[in-house]
Structure 1
């Protein structure tokens, strides 16, 4: 069953992510644009919440299916891996071309060690810092997502078993998961002196993001709870309030504050999803289409960010920074969308169909 509001949410998520990355390339933004672009990175957490929700929906619809785990693994692998592997090759060639342009010779970039490449091929780069986010730009989120796929069947099973239809129990389990992650970070700090900082390895790790995914699971199990069935205006108020708190916390210097912001943002996104669910007029065709190709857009857009950075650097002395931000953002989104649509047709869909054929043979 296709849910338009989920595709719309994926569209919002990738638009947020691209905005966040463009904002990093335009220096000297005024306060409000700077805050908005910085918060754009939370689009990844919106992806995570939507991913957990749709996985729960899929698992529930296939509860009587034979060989569930095997088929689940095949679907997830062929949905994510082929495009990621192609991205690895494309960015390797892109890095080679940059070195050629800089030095006039082809040489292997230092980051392409055997262990780094293998870590990305087998998706355990989320647990190996040198390989975490440099072989494929933005690859940290794919590593974290794949790690979540591994534990999802157990998480979903025990959430259903332990909550027994009780929303209060679900919130308690979510709180316990969050506290356990915080205790792990306390141990890491005491023994290794490492903190969770924005966009560092600990921030990217599944330990820090697991609560975000769990928010999506809880939302799926209890979306009929009275908290989520109120008028959409209530959802809007809660979403704005929680987002505002996240933005305030963003500039705090509290220890490990970036282990709190992702889960707080995830909770706010539950109400954003509700807004789109209750207001079909928000599910615009262009947003649905962007959502449908959002994975390809995520993998591809980093190439165009490089050129956006060059343009920003060249014109920043003559044109207002905020204008540069808007122009570069729109251009990057449009060009990325075109290439992502091609990717969806010739890479994503064919491999998804291969997965279907394999599953059919198993059945």
Structure 2
């Protein structure tokens, strides 16, 4: 029975990284890192259209309807990756403390920096901080994912969802000891997500809030995390399938994804199901298959240097891009107007490319100045926790 190849996504998965080395070095599986890059870029393109209203060519219609789903790909990848990096640590001394340290320092430094910039923006524009104290407290403690529309960081709702998942993940990991429990987790997660979407969605309709809290709440998104965990465990429980999978995974995954995309499109237009959004739940399965596919048989399209680079910086891309689009929207409009008069609707692509190039200049700064230093602090704290006291000679 062969062993599956080792995945080492460094900061993406919460592993120690003392230096900003190439995340794909050392015989790793960089395609999953590339998937994170793909998810981040898709969300940026989605917000270029939705946030600052840059028109998308008709033949790129799926950007406006599907690229926002990149956040759910993040959820699936996060659960899959955490399962891989922590399953062997269960029972080790202080593993829960080290897990908490790594998760905190992976998320908190950059999130707090963007949160501070939002507080500064409020003070400079209004002469005072507008957000109430309870909302600031909820964001500092990462409990805002439990309160409707309490996120202060633009697009930061996913952080509230992720941090709640991080809190329950160790218990789910310990509980997953067999196929029956994995299936039970999927059933429970699906039921919780469906019921939550129905209940919260009806409240959204009554209050007229938009965007809907049913889309942003943790319980509504539990399904995606469960899919990521169970996908990893099925692959590793049945490692005898690895040889077969390497031969057929591309064909099987391609056909399955095509069928599920058709199912998702059919469900998207069912009027009575708009609150539940079963099409999004189907996309969770698509992303789980895509993750397993790239784990078993990585594609160069996702594992090349550019995708690894984007994936390594995906968190900075995600948190920084809404602020960038807001403050530089006038310049982006000028760029788009210049190209649209010459190219027509394809100007969206040139504008998006320009946005990405400029955004990455900022991302590189936040990644190196904040994220990498956060990871160094994580490594230092983890070593301090794991350091054993020296034995003393007894008289």
- What's the TM-score, normalizing by structure 2? 0.79
Note if 1:14 corresponds to 2:37: no
Q: Secondary structure at the match of 1:136?
A: coil
CA-CA distance at 1:107 after TM superposition: 2.3
Aligned twin of 1:181: 193
- Which of 33, 38, 55 matches 2:65? 38
Q: Greater Rg, structure 1 or structure 2?
A: 2
Deviations 1:311-332 (A, max 9, x none): 5655558466632321221122
Q: Is the 8 A contact 1:196 1:259 kept in 2?
A: no
Change (3 A) 1:38 1:183: closer
Moved more, 339-348 or 222-231: 222-231
Aligned twin of 1:86: 113
CA-CA distance at 1:292 after TM superposition: 0.4
Change (3 A) 1:83 1:213: same
Aligned twin of 1:235: 253
Aligned twin of 2:21: none
Number of equivalent positions: 348
Moved more, 57-66 or 8-17: 57-66
Q: Is the 8 A contact 1:123 1:146 kept in 2?
A: yes
Deviations 1:125-165 (A, max 9, x none): 11222423xx210110000000110111112222x23xx24
- What's the TM-score, normalizing by structure 1? 0.85
Structure 2 CA distance, aligned partners of 1:218 and 1:21? 31
Structure 2 CA distance, aligned partners of 1:266 and 1:53? 12
Aligned twin of 2:385: 362
Moved more, 341-350 or 182-191: 182-191
- Which of 227, 236, 242 matches 1:215? 227
Moved more, 325-334 or 178-187: 178-187
Deviations 1:282-316 (A, max 9, x none): 21101001100111111111122225643565555
Aligned twin of 1:103: none
- Which of 163, 168, 173 matches 1:151? 168
Structure 2 CA distance, aligned partners of 1:20 and 1:297? 13
Give the 5 Å matches for 1:73-112: 73-95=100-122, 99=125, 106-108=126-128, 110=130, 112=131
Change (3 A) 1:190 1:48: closer
In structure 1, stretches of 5+ residues that fail to align are 100-105
Q: Secondary structure at the match of 2:309?
A: helix
Structure 1 CA distance, aligned partners of 2:324 and 2:200? 37
Structure 2 CA distance, aligned partners of 1:349 and 1:321? 41
CA-CA distance at 1:41 after TM superposition: 0.9
Q: Secondary structure at the match of 2:127?
A: coil
Structure 2 CA distance, aligned partners of 1:343 and 1:192? 36
Structure 1 CA distance, aligned partners of 2:254 and 2:333? 38
Give the 5 Å matches for 1:317-332: 318=341, 322-332=345-355
CA-CA distance at 1:182 after TM superposition: 2.3
Q: Secondary structure at the match of 1:79?
A: helix
Deviations 1:212-242 (A, max 9, x none): 1000011010125559923312212222332
- Which of 43, 65, 77 matches 1:50? 77
Structure 1 CA distance, aligned partners of 2:116 and 2:76? 29
Note if 1:276 corresponds to 2:294: yes
CA-CA distance at 1:82 after TM superposition: 0.9
CA-CA distance at 1:254 after TM superposition: 2.7
Aligned twin of 1:140: 157
- Which of 342, 352, 359 matches 1:336? 359
Q: Is the 8 A contact 1:249 1:261 kept in 2?
A: yes
CA-CA distance at 1:281 after TM superposition: 2.1
Structure 2 CA distance, aligned partners of 1:201 and 1:321? 37
Aligned twin of 2:26: none
**RMSD, aligned CA:** 2.8
Q: Is the 8 A contact 2:75 2:228 kept in 1?
A: yes
Q: Is the 8 A contact 2:43 2:68 kept in 1?
A: yes
CA-CA distance at 1:357 after TM superposition: 1.2
CA-CA distance at 1:191 after TM superposition: 7.7
Q: Is the 8 A contact 1:127 1:205 kept in 2?
A: yes
Change (3 A) 1:31 1:203: same
